[in-house]
């Protein structure tokens, strides 16, 4: 269960509107479920879903420039695993 917007904002010293927007985004992304009158709960599999998104973003956005630089420097994956 997630803490209430007010409680979390007070605990973290954040603006309650910022926390409310984040909670809304979690709900939109399917990471939490709302149980009316009870609160918000993290959905099962949310961590795996986030990890999958991060991996995809890395492979699409970060890895290509790294790979291109490795190729320019003449480095292979083996070089990275066995640095001299």
Pairing of the two strands 39-42 and 32-35: antiparallel
pLDDT score, position 26: 95
pLDDT score, position 82: 87
pLDDT score, position 66: 96
pLDDT score, position 3: 95
Q: Model-level pTM greater than 0.75?
A: no
pLDDT score, position 59: 98
pLDDT score, position 30: 93
**Residue 43 CB burial class (10 angstroms; 0-12, 13-18, ≥19):** middle
* Half-sphere exposure of residue 53: CA atoms within 13 angstroms, side-chain side: 9
Averaged pLDDT, groups of 10, the chain, 84 residues long: 95 97 95 93 95 97 97 94 79
Measured at the CA of 16, the angle between CA 29 and CA 30, to 5 degrees, comes to 10
**Distance between CA atoms of residues 38 and 43, nearest Å:** 15
């Amino acid at each position: 269960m997630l803490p209430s917007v007010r409680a979390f904002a007070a605990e973290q010293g954040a603006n309650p509107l910022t926390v409310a927007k984040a909670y809304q985004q979690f709900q939109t992304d399917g990471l939490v479920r709302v149980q009316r009158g009870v609160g918000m709960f993290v959905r099962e599999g949310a961590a795996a879903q986030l990890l999958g998104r991060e991996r995809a973003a890395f492979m699409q956005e970060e890895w290509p420039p790294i790979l291109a630089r490795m190729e320019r420097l003449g480095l292979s994956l083996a070089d990275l695993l066995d640095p001299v």
